[in-house]
Structure formats: structure tokens, C-alpha cells
Amino acid sequence: MPRPGRAPELPKDVVLSVRELSIDYATRRGPVHAVRDVSFDVKRGETLAIIGESGSGKTTMAVALIHLSPGSARVKHGSVLYNGPREVLDITTLAADELRQYRWSECAMVFQAALNSYNPVLTMWEHFLDTARAHGLSDRKDVRRRADEHLRLVNLDADRVLRAYPHELSGGMKQRVLIALALLLEPQIAVPNVSGALGSVASIPGSPPDLIDLPPGCTYSPRCPFAIDECRAAEPALLAVDTPAHDARCIRWQAVAATIGTAERPVVEKLATA
């Protein structure tokens, strides 16, 4: 038996493997089912986008990847497996000292609330230096070289930014500094490619369901124009579709693809007329 925190082997090309992860929040009304049976793999060099509306559990899941969930959250079941340099680790069971090494050295996160991520009495250079020292980098010249390199990647003037305190930077600049800081230790996971063509994404009408009292069957059925009685009878299983490595938890994925999967009409129009 592996000791706590250790997990079975993963394929070498898989950096992160999330398996049947479910997370609840404890409330007076009852448990909020924020994340339910989520599974995915992230391979080396691969970009994975998690898309969903506000309140759908994206942040809850992302924070669980670095084991920083608030006290009211509980991992109901599932695992977060990281393919480390020496062994596979289950992040949900790591001890505090091992989590400290994992965070930012192996997996980094850029938080949305940039202003709340900084110590207001420290300069940006001190933030970079403290982060590096906490993970064993004591060479100031090497830390400065890394800081300069990553600040250039986000189009910031390192000489100006590193001398500044948080309140002396705009909100956008603070967000970009966070990105550079997340890259400082060259983690294997956290880093999206922000270049490339932009497309359009249609949203489903209505609001997310009450996560304490979920509707029966498919939770999208009250809002989905493709829903039928069978959708409301039972929660759909994860089904393989006709694209490699693509699954859908939808019994009507073929009808959906036939309606909105063509290029003749805009996606929004297709959803509205389905």
C-alpha cells in the first residue's frame, strides 16, 4: 500500500489526472453540490479550458487542484493525481509541508482578485524574491533574470514594475504581474496560451439550478431546448461522441450536433430556433 499522498502510476504524458471529483459546501440549508463527478486529464504541453457560467463550480474545482478550498468545502469523493518528478501524488491527501512544495513549484494559479493577492507593504520585487526563497531559490541574480523574462512575456517594464508597490499599479498591471509570478518557478501546470483566434460562444438561456436542490435527471433539462422526457428521468451517463477523445454527458448529443454543429447559421440563432 502506498503511504498517504501516494497514488498509482499514470501514463508518462499525463501531468494531472482528476478522477470522479465531487466537492460539497456545508450550509444551513444543506450541502451545496458545487462539483459533481468531474474527471479529466491534462497532458504535457496541452491546454485545457474549463468553460461554464457563473456559479457552475469552475473556481471550486480549480482551487481544489492546489488544495486551497475554504473550510466549508469538503471533497466528498474522488482524487487529484499529479505526476511528479519522482512519484504520483494525490493532492487531496498531501501533508502541509508537501503541499507547500507542490504549490507554485509544480502547480501555479493566477487568482482573479489581483489586489487581494499582494502584501501592500512589499514591493513587487519583494514578492518575487520571497516566492523564490520559499522554494529554495536564493540567487538574487537568477531570480531577477527570471522576473525580467516573465514580466516581458506579459508586456510589462520590469524596472518600473519591480520598484512599485501594489497600489502604484493599475488593476490590469497587477493581474499581469500575478501571471509572471505564477510562471516564476516554471511549474508544469496553470499557464494558458492567450494568443490565437477568438470565436463566439453561446450561453444557455436562464440561470444555473439550485445546487442544494438539483432538478431530476439532467440538470440542464429545465433550460435546454433539446430536452425530452428521457432527459428528465435519469442523469445521463458520459458517452463517447464521434470526435477522438471527446465525451458528452448528453443522450441527445447527435441531435444537438446536427442542429448547431454546422456553419450555415450563427450558434446563437441556432439555439434560439431549436
Give 10-residue mean pLDDT values along the chain (274 residues).
Answer: 59 89 90 89 85 80 85 89 85 82 74 70 90 84 90 88 87 83 74 47 72 89 91 89 79 85 43 38
How far is the C-alpha of 202 from the C-alpha of 225, rounded, in Å? 13
Q: What is the pLDDT of residue 189?
A: 60
253 within domain boundaries = yes
- Per DSSP, which regions of the chain are E strands? 14-25, 32-43, 73-83, 88-90, 239-240, 247-248
What is the grid cell recorded at 81?
Answer: 493525481
Distances (CA, A) of 207 to 1, 16, 52, 175, 252: 45, 31, 12, 29, 21
CA–CA separation, 116 and 23 (whole Å): 25
Q: Which pTM does this prediction carry?
A: 0.60
Identify the CA nearest to 137 among candidates 156, 162, 110, 145. 145
Q: What number of CA atoms fall less than 13 Å from residue 21's CA on the CB side?
A: 28
Three-state DSSP class for 166? Answer: helix
Dihedral angle sign, alpha carbons of residues 94, 98, 101, 105? negative
| C-alpha–C-alpha distance, residues 241 and 42, integer Å | 19
CATH number at residue 89: 3.40.50.300
Q: Which of 238, 160, 190, 177 is nearest to 65 (CA)?
A: 190
According to the model, what pLDDT value does residue 217 have?
92
- For residue 111, count other CB atoms closer than 10 A to its CB: 14
CA 223 to chain CA centroid, Å, is 25
Residue 9 belongs to a domain: no
Single residue among 102, 132, 160 that ends a domain in this structure: 102
Q: Mark which of 183, 218, 237 sits at the end of a domain.
A: 183
- Domain hosting 176: range is 115-183
Residue at 97 is within a domain:
yes
Domain contains 191:
no
Verify that 157 and 178 share a domain, yes or no: yes
Number of domains observed in the structure of the chain: 3
Phi first, then psi: give them for residue 267, nearest 5 degrees.
-60, -45
What pLDDT is attached to residue 47? 81
Q: Is 223 a domain residue?
A: no
